[in-house]
Structure 1
Amino acid sequence: MVIRKEHALALLRVREEEKNEAPTCQLFVKSEEPPYLELERMNLLRMVRPLEYSLTYWGRVLANIIDEMVEKGLIPHPSKWDEDFRWLGSEVLMMIETAIENDDIPGPLTEGELEKRGFIEERKVEKKGVFKAVNQYAKDVYEVFKNAHPRLIIDRELCEYIKKMPPGPAESSMLPAGGRFPILMGAMRLLAFSVPTSDIYALTALGKEIKAACETIAPTLETVISEDIMDSLERAVYEGFDAVTDEEKEVLFELALIDDSGNPLPAGEHLLEAYRIWKERSFKPVKSMNVEIVDAELLRGIEEVWKHHEQDPSTLPTVDELVHYLFYKPLKEYKHLLEHYGRRLYQDLGYQKKEEIKKKFSEVKTVEELFKSFYEKGNEWYKKMYDIVQESLYTLEAFNLVRAEEHEGKKVHYLTDYGKKVLEDMKKRGFREIPAVAVKAITITNKEFASPNVDWYNKGVNALLIGGGAPTEAGKMYADMAYEIRRLPHITRFELQVLHKLPEKGFFVKDLYQHFDETWHEEIEYALNKLEARGYIDILQNEAIILTEAGKLIKRALSGTPEGLANPITPLAVRVLEALRKVGTLYVKEQKIRILPKNIKEAIKLSGLDPESFEREMVILRASNLVGKNSINEAGLLILEALEKLN
């Protein structure tokens, strides 16, 4: 949906003809038609016959909105707009959507752009004071967007343009020259641009399927894709040849959409999926995942320890063995790990020691020496390193990259198929961080009409997930993985502190910084990265932070948990909860699951953990107030409910 000066004037012209009781608006020359044709694709105008148009219901609503906003002085009359001014477009609609999702508050990133378009008002609320919010006109425009189902018609010329354009995410300068084609694609919601300005573009979920169809279709007809063609294709494939006429069959054969037996060819398969998306307006939720440097290094460690196990069966990838693996990493050869260790040391020792820690990095040779120099009392240095390794293993299990199992009475770690894929990527393209927003730069395009903002896009490029105007092989892998993995809840001490500060909505990243010392900005960024990757929060394009349904449940479940616990909820503890639920009895009124002592052995077996590890996770569950002596309490049930929401 795109409204520029010419579109607004066209709407008002047709509405004026309507007021004068003319049945349609008659155009005089073909050169006048492009904006009318684009409005027809937006389902705001109806083509009665060539060069004659009338308003649809939603077109009339939008024309009335423009009139009212002009009368109230919120916007100048469209005749006074600059020629290229986009009053509405994917970027503006996403600014409105994210504000509505955030209790109508747009935030500093998008407020100015919305104000230019007349969509901002001042509100005064007790205790909150005066603030800017989107007005009713913004919501009315968004209502038009949600209800005006766009048309979908692709001619041969547009099909060729779509074939040669990179799918994105990409910088807008990469779009090939194509006259009005980008506007026409925006009208049909095939192409979206970034918030707040259109620096980045991407094909939408519908656009990607249309592009895939265009790349394999036979462009033998003037119109290669239309609603009628898609409808014929669906009937031919799912109901058989008898359901379509001979003329329809001929069109499907000519476009290479089906074979002689009525089976869909590659173009037909993509067009069927495009038709489903277009008809049902069914879109995937936006998901992400995250891998830190130390996580990737431990994946390699697990693989190497298992290889060593072949020569020495007593060597197994337990936490202790993996701690030793990281201890002997020569720091100067593994510079990519320094940032992670530095961050952990700053968090423990305080940022005032930052310079001292940096100096020590340049002096020592191994992680062991580094930790000994800061944690000399007893074996505290070993315990700190153990905590780092265990926390990272929890993170890896939470993302289904490793699996802890009982082996010869010990808790050992196996790489899952997903973990092996990530390790292969790291070996091939370099050990690096995969930020949540870098993956989200790709998955955001699964929404109806959205593109990543510049920061997400740049992080995707730096993580080698985006390049050449499209997701790379690695980018596709991580994006697919974000939807395929089974997540297990996990949260660290600092992440819980951050989560406790977040209301359900009406909050921005900049607001969160104000709750912590300014030296903690880096820690907050990493915590938000993990919370988003885990599915507890959604950071919108306007930098608002929204709690997801799972996030609300996790926050509520851990509201009574002491913030001193290193990992208030772990994926292994969740496995224990799942096992206890299977052997217990639910008491609905009490909101508890009671477990008989005789069933604990069965629960240990179901969890896949050794008895010692099972008991250790039970200690965590009790400390976090999720289980009692012989029951899962209400907070524990909330964690299990969050588990279902996450998957």
Structure 2
Amino acid sequence: MLLASAHLIALHELAAKEAAGHTTHTLAEDDVQEHIYRELELQGLVLLEPPRAYQLSYAGREALDLIRAMHAENLLPTIDRLEHNWRFLGSDILGALHAATLRKGQVGPVTTDMLRARGLAKQTQDTLEKRQLTCLNRYGEAWEDFAERHRPRLEIYGELANAIRHMHPGYAQKPAAQMTAGQLALMEAMNLLVWSVPEGDNYVLTALGQAVYDALRKGGYSPLDVVLDEPLLQVLAELVDKGSAALASEQIASLQLLGYVDADEKLSEAGYAALRAYSLLQRDVPEKTHTFAITEPEVELLTTIDRLAQEQKPTHKEALHRALIDRMVKHYRSLEGRRGRMLREKAPLKRQAVALLEEVKEHDKWFNTNWDLEELIVGLEAFDLLRAEMEGSKMSYRLTPTGSRIVKEQEGNTRDISATAVKALTIVATPLSVPAQWWIEQAREEELIGTGGISASGHFYANLANHCVRQLALTREEAEILEQLPDTEGASCGFGTSNHEGLDEEKRNWAMEKLEARGFINRLVDCQIIRTEAGQLLTRAVSGAMHLGHPVTPTIVRLLAAIRQAGTLYVKERKVRIQPHQWGEVERLTGLGEHEFREVLHVARMGQYVGEATLTEAGLDLLAVHELIHKEYGVAAAESHQVGHQ
């Protein structure tokens, strides 16, 4: 949706004509405002009476009523005082409104000024915490609701189609040098692209825009006729549903001319992309955004396991610990010379590790000061990148196919991949769901975005975000942050934090990255933070386990699932009772050795997930979270009841 100064003036102009007894307003052939009325027409705010007459639609009257009410309350400048080319509403503003809506109307620090300048937010007093808040006013809520209810029309002619075919694929400041401001406005009005928050520095094609872009890039275009619109897409859908016999020969010829159908009257690649666009027009795009995160030490651990496995050496914890320390010592001895400037400016943990390597001669002590092997293992298990297997009397580790792919992708360029950066690529861009500028900047820094748009690495991690299986895991630091979740990401909200943050702040930031990548929190475009449904339930489940080093591990979840499978559920008590003779079956279902089973059972009791002979309410809550994340990431709910290594 797009409403700038010229659009507001045009709506008032139509209303004035109507009040004077003229039902329509006719434009001259050379009227410079023609593109403004065209943009309003595509958004359903005015109706065209061919050849060149316009009148207000019902949606246009609704929009005008809101604008007049805002004028009456002095929330908007009067028409004669509007700045030229001022954007009242656009994809960036709507993204800010939507983020506030997700936070129950509270506005984030990044978008406060932009919403208040448009009369869409107000100051309120939080009596409980005794502080001032900025919240959406009734007009901010009304415009967000308006944008959700009204969908623009898709209609692309030859000139715009040609521009789209040659545009930059996204994450740039300008789609193409030859693309005009009017063509950009048309694309935004049709919900084909959105601009980043807060300054609109970069654009991203929406899901619909990407489908249209693919269709036009792979197809053809006619310089005068409609290249892509809903009637044409309906014909294309009829071809798929009923076959070519259902269409007239002229229709087939037109589809072939545009490149949507091949010589055999079958859909081409462009045709399939066009049908994807048609599907998106017929339904709401799911808003949920998946992401992924992995730290450089976790990549080093994956690589260590891979090398040991190739050399047919043991991969139990003791062997891993020794091999990983040797690898990390070599890596950090070469790091200062190779990336000294980056270390000095941006990586407190790396700075500490390099400094301590010179001071601490005992390498085991040096490693344990900076990292926790158990925490690295749990972090990798959470994304199903490695799995534990019993080998004789010891637990060993093997890479999953996904873990092996990460080792290959990072070979020669080991680096952190943050949830923030990956989210910039996986966000299902819609008029209400837009990326933050600093997400895009982070993605560039991590080499997920290049000069030509999303890089090969970017596509790799975006695919992982959407398809990799999650296992339930939580460190103590993550649990504490989840329990005491801040309202926002801090005063700087991601803009330039890496230049000044300290070691504790870096660790806290990475805990947030992991929480978001696992689906427990959602960091909004205005830098506010909310818990997801799974995050809220998990917070309650771990309240009695905060003293544990790792309040949740995949092994604990495996034990709880085994107890539920072997025991008897008492619905009224919300407990699963286990008889003494059933513990043997529980141990068998977990697939753990006797020592490991006793150990994890002890930890689960310390965390109050398991009583002497029961699976507690907290344990059931934890299993409910397990089911939620499996359902969220495309795994059948029935699978979450199954226990590995049966």
1:574 maps to what in 2? 557
Q: How does 1:165-564 map to 2 (within 5 A)?
A: 165-172=167-174, 177-220=179-222, 222-259=225-262, 262-309=265-312, 315-329=313-327, 331=329, 333-334=331-332, 359-364=355-360, 367-368=363-364, 370-371=366-367, 388-428=372-412, 430-502=413-485, 507-510=487-490, 520-561=504-545, 563-564=546-547
2:620 maps to what in 1? 637
| 1:618 pairs with 2:598 | no
**CA positional deviation for 1:79:** 3.4
3-state SS of 1:225 partner: strand
RMSD over equivalenced CA pairs, Å:
2.7
CA deviation map 1:274-306 (0-9, x unaligned): 111121022351111100011100110111111
Amino acid at match of 2:237: E
3-state SS of 1:486 partner: coil
2:341 maps to what in 1? none
Paired with 2:593 and 2:256, the residues of 1 have a C-alpha distance of 61
| 1:97 pairs with 2:98 | yes
Amino acid at match of 1:363: E
**CA positional deviation for 1:107:** 2.5
**CA positional deviation for 1:127:** 2.0
Taking structure 2 as the reference length, the TM-score comes to 0.88
Say if 1:101 and 1:127 are closer, same or farther in 2 by CA, change over 3 A. Answer: same
CA deviation map 1:280-333 (0-9, x unaligned): 022351111100011100110111111221xxxxx3211221111122236253
Percent identity at matched positions? 31
Paired with 2:178 and 2:554, the residues of 1 have a C-alpha distance of 47
**CA positional deviation for 1:599:** 4.0
Paired with 2:44 and 2:21, the residues of 1 have a C-alpha distance of 21
Taking structure 1 as the reference length, the TM-score comes to 0.88
Paired with 2:260 and 2:588, the residues of 1 have a C-alpha distance of 52
3-state SS of 2:612 partner: coil
1:583 maps to what in 2? 566
CA deviation map 1:322-369 (0-9, x unaligned): 11112223625335989xxxxxxxxxxxx9x99997653223467325
CA deviation map 1:430-482 (0-9, x unaligned): 00000110101111244455442222112111111111141111111111111
CA deviation map 1:399-446 (0-9, x unaligned): 111122223343221111211111111105x00000110101111244
Say if 1:166 and 1:357 are closer, same or farther in 2 by CA, change over 3 A. Answer: closer
Paired with 1:103 and 1:512, the residues of 2 have a C-alpha distance of 22
3-state SS of 1:282 partner: coil
Paired with 1:147 and 1:258, the residues of 2 have a C-alpha distance of 34
Amino acid at match of 1:83: H
Amino acid at match of 2:160: L
Say if 1:366 and 1:240 are closer, same or farther in 2 by CA, change over 3 A. Answer: farther
- Answer yes or no: is the 8 Å Cα contact 1:328–1:368 preserved in 2: no
Amino acid at match of 1:623: M
Say if 1:406 and 1:364 are closer, same or farther in 2 by CA, change over 3 A. Answer: same
3-state SS of 1:46 partner: strand
2:87 maps to what in 1? 86
Say if 1:2 and 1:282 are closer, same or farther in 2 by CA, change over 3 A. Answer: same
- Answer yes or no: is the 8 Å Cα contact 2:194–2:430 preserved in 1: no
Paired with 2:278 and 2:592, the residues of 1 have a C-alpha distance of 47
- Answer yes or no: is the 8 Å Cα contact 1:445–1:452 preserved in 2: no
Say if 1:80 and 1:633 are closer, same or farther in 2 by CA, change over 3 A. Answer: same
Say if 1:200 and 1:335 are closer, same or farther in 2 by CA, change over 3 A. Answer: farther
Q: Which residues of structure 1 form unaligned runs of 5+?
A: 310-314, 339-350, 372-380
Paired with 1:206 and 1:99, the residues of 2 have a C-alpha distance of 24
Paired with 2:181 and 2:229, the residues of 1 have a C-alpha distance of 21
Say if 1:471 and 1:592 are closer, same or farther in 2 by CA, change over 3 A. Answer: same
Q: How does 1:597-612 map to 2 (within 5 A)?
A: 597-612=580-595
**CA positional deviation for 1:634:** 1.5
Deviates more, 1:270-279 or 1:257-266: 257-266
- Answer yes or no: is the 8 Å Cα contact 1:193–1:200 preserved in 2: yes
Paired with 2:333 and 2:571, the residues of 1 have a C-alpha distance of 54
Paired with 1:481 and 1:356, the residues of 2 have a C-alpha distance of 31
1:378 maps to what in 2? none
- Answer yes or no: is the 8 Å Cα contact 1:283–1:446 preserved in 2: no
CA deviation map 1:81-124 (0-9, x unaligned): 22221111110001111112112121221111111111121223
Say if 1:240 and 1:289 are closer, same or farther in 2 by CA, change over 3 A. Answer: same
Deviates more, 1:279-288 or 1:88-97: 279-288
Paired with 2:30 and 2:562, the residues of 1 have a C-alpha distance of 70
Amino acid at match of 1:47: L
Amino acid at match of 2:363: V
Say if 1:277 and 1:137 are closer, same or farther in 2 by CA, change over 3 A. Answer: same
3-state SS of 2:123 partner: strand
Paired with 2:111 and 2:618, the residues of 1 have a C-alpha distance of 38
Amino acid at match of 1:90: S
- Answer yes or no: is the 8 Å Cα contact 1:205–1:448 preserved in 2: no
2:343 maps to what in 1? none
Paired with 2:485 and 2:366, the residues of 1 have a C-alpha distance of 35
Paired with 1:414 and 1:511, the residues of 2 have a C-alpha distance of 42
Instruction: Give the paired residue count.
Output: 609
Say if 1:289 and 1:196 are closer, same or farther in 2 by CA, change over 3 A. Answer: same
- Answer yes or no: is the 8 Å Cα contact 1:395–1:490 preserved in 2: yes
- Answer yes or no: is the 8 Å Cα contact 2:333–2:354 preserved in 1: no
Paired with 1:7 and 1:277, the residues of 2 have a C-alpha distance of 27
- Answer yes or no: is the 8 Å Cα contact 1:194–1:450 preserved in 2: no
Deviates more, 1:59-68 or 1:181-190: 59-68
Say if 1:607 and 1:354 are closer, same or farther in 2 by CA, change over 3 A. Answer: closer
Paired with 1:489 and 1:11, the residues of 2 have a C-alpha distance of 53
Amino acid at match of 1:295: E
Deviates more, 1:573-582 or 1:490-499: 573-582
Deviates more, 1:13-22 or 1:460-469: 13-22
2:636 maps to what in 1? none
Say if 1:176 and 1:593 are closer, same or farther in 2 by CA, change over 3 A. Answer: farther
